């Protein structure tokens, strides 16, 4: 919708042209805006079903709480979407709307993994890191953090609240941190499939995202700066860049969860200093 400059094509919320149920004539930007709202409503209904079902059948209390987090996130997302209409696309609200959408996506991806057969039935292989026990965990969490900052910078740029420069410069930081994380995973923990697979995917997505980012920059900033309306190459490159960014963030979250499960810190690191040496006074 944003890539097509279709925001405010439907000027009211929560109704569409004053109606709760009538489908407006889907022409111009209205077809993008109204379709966006219909998909959002479908996602909200599915999340309600997910939360109710989880509380009825799931015994893991933390997973039931996570389902409520998903529900709360999608409700907040809907409210932010309405505020963007009421206040005529303010950059801060629109950027928060974009960032929260990917937070919701990561929660649902994590829930899909937690409820999968492999997670429930598989006996996890544990590999203690005796050399630098906290480095890998720190790297995975840092990867999520720098990616989320990049997401916010990109959203601010897309919604005209910031120039392109911070997003492009921070991409260098993101690439370095994620490459470091993936290389360490593949060089030290390649024998653990649950760690190796998301690490390979993350590294592949980083490369793809850099290529898509360069393409989006060319079509949007370099060549399309004076375009009267978004052209097809501009829309495709931008949408692909955003989509791969969401997949990259979700993959990094999955990697961090798998590291927490399969690569705990060394036993000596978890013991108080006084208990590490039985002969200590």
Question: Contact, 7 vs 1, CB < 8 A?
Answer: yes
How far, CA to CA in Å, does 82 sit from each of 15, 40, 64? 10, 11, 28
pLDDT of 279: 42
- At 189, the pLDDT band (50, 70, 90 cuts) reads confident
Residue with tokens 């960014």: 245
For 39-78, write each residue's pLDDT tens digit: 999 999 999 999 999 999 999 999 999 999 999 999 999 9
User: According to the model, what pLDDT value does residue 129 have?
Assistant: 59
Distance CA 123, CA 162 (A): 47
Q: What is the mean predicted confidence (pLDDT) over 79-91?
A: 89
Whether 128 has a pLDDT exceeding 50, the answer reads: yes
Residues 250/109, Cβ–Cβ less than 8 Å: yes
Whole-number mean pLDDT of the chain?
86
DSSP state of 4: G
At CB < 8 A and 24+ separation, what contacts does 205-211 make?
Answer: 205/244, 205/247, 205/248, 205/251, 206/174, 206/175, 206/178, 206/179, 206/182, 206/248, 208/244, 209/241, 209/244, 209/245, 209/248, 210/171, 210/175
Report which of residues 55 and 226 the model is more confident about.
Answer: 55
| Domain parsing of the chain, residue ranges | 1-89, 123-281
Where is pLDDT greater, at 126 or 79?
79
pTM of the shown model: 0.86
Dihedral sign, CA of 111, 113, 117, 120? negative
Nearby residues of 137 by Cβ (< 8 Å), 6 or more positions away: 256, 259, 260, 263, 265
Tokens of 93: 């609200």
Return the structure tokens found at 204: 């592949």
Is residue 241 over pLDDT 90? Answer: yes
Task: Give me the mean pLDDT over the 12-22 stretch.
Answer: 77
pLDDT value at residue 61: 95
Higher pLDDT, 220 or 242: 242
pLDDT reading at 271 higher than 50: no
Report percent pLDDT > 90 for the chain.
57
Percent of the chain exceeding pLDDT 70 equals 85
**Average pLDDT score over residue span 231-256:** 94
pLDDT of residue 127: 64
């Amino acid at each position: 919708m944003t890539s097509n400059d279709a925001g405010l094509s439907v000027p009211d919320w929560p109704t569409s042209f004053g109606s709760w149920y009538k489908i407006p004539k889907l022409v111009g930007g209205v077809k993008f805006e109204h379709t966006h709202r219909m998909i959002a409503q479908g996602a909200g209904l599915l999340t309600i079903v997910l939360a109710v079902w989880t509380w009825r059948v799931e015994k893991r209390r933390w997973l039931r709480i996570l389902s409520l987090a998903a529900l709360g996130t999608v409700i907040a997302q809907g409210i932010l979407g309405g505020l963007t209409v009421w206040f005529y696309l303010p950059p801060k609200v629109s950027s928060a709307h974009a960032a929260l959408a990917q937070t919701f996506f990561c929660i649902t991806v994590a829930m899909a993994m937690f409820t999968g057969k492999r997670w429930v039935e598989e006996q996890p292989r544990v590999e203690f890191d005796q050399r630098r026990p906290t480095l890998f965990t720190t790297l995975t969490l840092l990867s999520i953090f720098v990616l989320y900052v990049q997401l916010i910078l990109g959203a601010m740029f897309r919604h005209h609240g910031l120039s392109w420069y911070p997003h492009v410069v921070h991409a260098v930081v993101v690439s370095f941190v994620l490459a470091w994380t993936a290389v360490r995973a593949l060089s030290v923990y390649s024998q653990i499939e649950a760690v190796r697979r998301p690490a390979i995917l993350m590294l592949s997505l980083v490369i793809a995202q850099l290529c898509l980012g360069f393409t989006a920059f060319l079509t949007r900033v370099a060549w399309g700066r004076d375009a009267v309306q978004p052209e097809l190459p501009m829309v495709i490159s931008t949408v692909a860049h955003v989509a791969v960014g969401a997949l990259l963030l979700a993959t990094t979250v999955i990697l961090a969860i798998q590291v927490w499960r399969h690569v705990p810190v060394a036993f000596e690191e978890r013991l108080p200093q006084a208990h590490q040496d039985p002969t200590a006074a």
